[in-house]
Structure 1
């Protein structure tokens, strides 16, 4: 469930695009969604680590929070929304 929420927040960060050079709020919203997605990815990584250590999940489950974190980080840096 947490992965779906994190994926939704990161997707929202990518869907927000400014309408023009005056739309500073869209840029801010994209940055906020990217930052929240990065925080949620870190929390999901910690939960995944706990579940893998408990033996409930396999090691490949670490790839999901890592992919979401990389995606959110790319949105905040290289693929950031600009005016």
Structure 2
């Protein structure tokens, strides 16, 4: 029970980081502050998603949690990678 609650809280924090990276939009290639904030936010979301996946490894292996508990961090990690990559392609430095 504690591991499920901890996973949900970590998923919410990860969702906030990834969603904030999608909600920010730079005014142009000269807007370095927003571009940096997007990259930091998506990178932090990716790190938190990896941490969330690692946190679930033991409970899923011991069958305390079902396998589908790996889906939220996986989806959030893919979204964070997509946002980080799209900013790198759209606004090369």
TM-score w.r.t. the length of structure 2 is 0.80
Q: Report the aligned-residue RMSD.
A: 1.6
Match of 2:59 in 1: 51
Gaps of at least 5 residues in structure 1 are none
Name the structure, 1 or 2, with higher relative contact order (CA <8 Å, separation 6+).
1
Report the CA distance between 1:21 and its aligned residue: 4.1
Aligned twin of 2:36: 28
Cα pair 1:10 1:34 within 8 Å, conserved:
yes
Partner of 2:91: 82
Query: After TM superposition, which residue ranges in structure 1, 4 or more long, deviate above 4 angstroms?
Result: none
Of the two, which has the highest radius of gyration? Answer: 2
Q: What is the number of equivalent residue pairs in this alignment?
A: 82
Q: More helix by proportion, 1 or 2?
A: 2
CA contact (8 A) 1:38 1:68 kept: yes
Query: SS state of the match for residue 37, structure 1?
Result: helix
